[in-house]
């Protein structure tokens, strides 16, 4: 067995195992940590497939930004775990049943032969001077330049939408509002409060 095959099986074991532990873990924060391990093993598998740029991107963006955002929201919202997990076991058999059927079907189809080594074969081997980032950049900035700019616009819209959704407007500035000053009435300025003379609560 080759060394890359051993690496593939080790990373696959981590990929499948940590994703399984993630979906059955009862604590949402622990599930997020297991998902981070899943992303790391996925990035390692992508490194085996010579997709270095995407592997680094997965770690930097997903583990560094998205999962930190998840942890932030999980810790900030402080959800009640007991009500969230009340129906945990109720849908467990159905979920396992559906997934097992899909796994068996996909394995049967994929093992039938159209994707194995005899049909597809091995990919062409690149030399040591081959750079994945250079190749991706040459494609991305020539053929896919308009989708690239669309993705930038999409991210801008996402920023605006997220800020607009959660931002609370606070009135902090003490600027002069002239129309309010002109329209003010006497009853707004002074308030008469009726106070009882012999209040018994003061003696206590």
Partner 1 sequence: MIALSDYLILSSIVFCIGLAGIFINRTNIIMILMCVELILAAVNTNFIAFSYYGSDLSGQIFVFFILTVAAAEVAIGLAILTLMYRNRGSIDIDVTNTLKG
- Binders of partner 1 among residues 130 to 189 (CB under 8 A) are 132, 135-136, 139-140, 144, 147, 151, 154-155, 157-159, 161-162, 165-166
Size of site (CB under 8 A) for partner 1: 86
Binding mask 73-92 for partner 1 (x = CB under 8 A): xx-xx-xx--xxxxxx--xx
CB 14 within 8 A of CB 45: no
Residues 6+ apart with CB under 8 A from 161: none
Q: Select 135 or 184, whichever has its Cβ closest to partner 1.
A: 135
Residue 10 touching partner 1 (CB under 8 A): no
Residue 37 touching partner 1 (CB under 8 A): no
Q: Which stretch binds partner 1 (CB under 8 A): 102-110, 172-180, 183-191, 194-202?
A: 102-110
Q: Select 83 or 176, whichever has its Cβ closest to partner 1.
A: 83
> What is the greatest pairwise CA distance in the chain?
101
Calpha distance 25→32 (Å, rounded): 10
Three-class SS state of 164: helix
- Smallest Cα–Cα separation from 29: which of 74, 72, 69, 83? 74
Q: How far is the CB of 169 from partner 1 (least distance, A)?
A: 14
Q: Which stretch binds partner 1 (CB under 8 A): 67-75, 169-177, 179-187, 192-200?
A: 67-75
Residues 6+ apart with CB under 8 A from 15: 38, 41, 42, 45
Among 14, 37, 54, 59, the residue binding partner 1 under the rule CB under 8 A is 54
Calpha distance 71→35 (Å, rounded): 11
Q: Select 126 or 184, whichever has its Cβ closest to partner 1.
A: 126
Calpha distance 134→51 (Å, rounded): 12
Q: Select 169 or 183, whichever has its Cβ closest to partner 1.
A: 169
Q: Tokens representing 105?
A: 């079907």
């Amino acid at each position: 067995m080759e060394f890359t095959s051993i690496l593939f099986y080790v990373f696959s074991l981590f990929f499948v195992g940590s994703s399984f532990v993630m979906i059955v873990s009862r604590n949402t924060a622990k599930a997020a940590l297991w998902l981070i391990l899943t992303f790391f093993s996925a990035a390692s598998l992508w490194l085996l497939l010579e997709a270095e740029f995407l592997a680094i991107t997965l770690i930097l963006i997903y583990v560094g930004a998205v999962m930190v955002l998840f942890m932030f929201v999980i810790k900030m919202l402080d959800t009640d775990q007991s009500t969230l997990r009340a129906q945990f076991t109720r849908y467990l058999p159905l979920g396992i049943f559906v997934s097992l059927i899909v796994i068996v079907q996909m394995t049967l189809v994929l093992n039938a032969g159209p994707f194995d080594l005899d049909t597809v074969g091995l990919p062409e081997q690149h030399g040591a001077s081959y750079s994945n980032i250079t190749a991706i950049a040459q494609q991305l900035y020539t053929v896919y330049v308009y989708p690239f700019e669309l993705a930038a616009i999409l991210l801008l819209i996402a920023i605006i939408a997220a800020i607009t959704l959660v931002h609370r407007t606070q009135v902090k500035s003490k600027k002069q509002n002239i129309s309010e000053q002109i329209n003010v009435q006497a009853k707004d300025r002074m308030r008469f409060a009726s106070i009882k003379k012999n209040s018994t609560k003061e003696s206590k």
